[in-house]
Amino acid sequence: MRVRCVKNLIETQSINTIQQSKMNPVSKHTRRRLLNGLWVTLSGLALAEIAWVVGTFLKPLKSNGSSEQPVKVIDVGPADLFLPRTVTAFPQGRFYLACLEDGGFLALSRRCTHLGCTVPWDPEKGQFACPCHASVFDIRGDVIRSPAPRALDRFAVAIENNRVKVNVGKPIRRSTFDNKQVVYRVHP
């Protein structure tokens, strides 16, 4: 009799367990399906974000309809302020103003024509030396030592009312130095 009671108790418990598992909607299969769906959704979002970044990078910039760069002129000061054979850096305009031996002015870009590194002026050696790949340029921006393929780009310079003004709107690409690129003061 005792064995029968124990047997009935076990059967009752197993029936209750089966009924509870049927009533419990969260089983291993639905949990697995939920996690798989979450994994697919997050992977899709990650791929969409990567596609957006690549698309933004490859998309050309919008043009405002004109092919000209905006004119941005920087007044660097009176012409008398600059001594011959000196170079003055203007970080806000990303250029150097060179006052040559004969008193002429030349505005040079700070970007190396090899890979675009910033070239500092070395006053002791009297030259620009690129720290990235050892290109060297003279005070006029001409290449002394390669791998730079051409002279430093220049910016247009004007002297109005004895004040030096540099148009940094668009750099002027050049292969070598030419005396026509130098701007001189007009003495009355």
Q: DSSP letter at 79?
A: G
Q: What is the pLDDT of residues 78-104, one digit of tens each?
A: 998 999 999 999 888 789 999 999 999
Q: What is the pLDDT of residues 100-140, one digit of tens each?
A: 999 999 999 998 888 888 899 899 998 998 888 888 999 99
The secondary element (H helix, E strand) that includes residue 51 is: helix 28-58
Rounded to 5 degrees, what are φ and ψ at 100?
Answer: -75, 175
State which amino acid sits at residue 37. G
Per the DSSP assignment, residues forming a β-bridge with 163 are 78, 160
Q: For residue 117, what pLDDT is reported? A: 87
Is the predicted pLDDT of residue 22 greater than 90, yes or no?
no
Class of residue 166 by CB neighbours under 10 A (exposed 0-12, middle 13-18, buried 19+): buried
Cα–Cα distance, 160 to 180 (Å, whole number):
18
pTM over 0.85: no
Q: What is the pLDDT of residues 48-80, one digit of tens each?
A: 999 998 888 887 766 555 555 566 899 999 998
Superfamily of domain 73-181 in CATH is Rieske [2Fe-2S] iron-sulphur domain (2.102.10.10)
